[in-house]
Amino acid sequence: MRKAYIVLLLLLFVLAACREQGGIEVVSGEVLSPEEQQSLYEARTKQDEAPDVSVKGKVYWTKSGTKYHKDPNCSYLKNAKELQSGTAAEAANHGASGPCSRCGGNKQ
């Protein structure tokens, strides 16, 4: 019981210290400063202009990807476990902001 009490006190101390410093966010094992946290927040919430959906024909994208691909064999997709396909507009609806710089830039 005494060990649990000590652990709880240490946890409260660490939380209080984090609160005083404006919070801590860890990315890839590194602790970010408040300025770095703000920059990361702005990058994550930045709204790009309207997605480019001018590519004609079938395109491919992944669930977590931010670009769509004209070629399902694009080297940027080599590690993809699951591809989705459809129009560029459908890809944009799933979060793809524009064409891949390698295979999607050729507008046909």
**Are 55 and 71 found together in one domain?**
yes
Q: What is the DSSP string of 17-31?
A: HHHHTT---EETTEE
- Whether residues 56 and 106 fall in one domain: yes
C-alpha to C-alpha distance for 9 and 63, rounded to whole angstroms = 42
Please tell me the predicted confidence (pLDDT) of residue 23: 53
The pTM of this model reads 0.50
Say whether both 27 and 63 belong to one domain: no
Which residues span the domain enclosing 31?
2-45
How crowded is the C-beta side of 10, counted as CA atoms within 13 Å? 6
Distant-in-sequence contacts of 79-84, Cβ < 8 A, 24+ apart: 84/60
Task: Tell how far CA 55 is from the center of its chain.
Answer: 23
Q: Tens place of pLDDT for every residue, the chain, 108 residues? A: 777 778 777 776 666 665 555 555 554 456 667 777 776 666 666 555 566 667 788 999 988 888 899 999 998 888 888 899 998 888 888 888 888 888 875 544
Structural domains counted in the chain: 2
81 and 64 within one domain: yes
What letter would DSSP give residue 32?
P
Q: Identify whether residues 88 and 35 lie together within a single domain.
A: no
Q: How far apart are CA 30 and CA 79, in angstroms?
A: 26
In this structure, are 11 and 56 located in the same domain? no
Q: What is the rounded CA–CA span in Å between residue 59 and residue 96?
A: 11
pLDDT at 51: 63
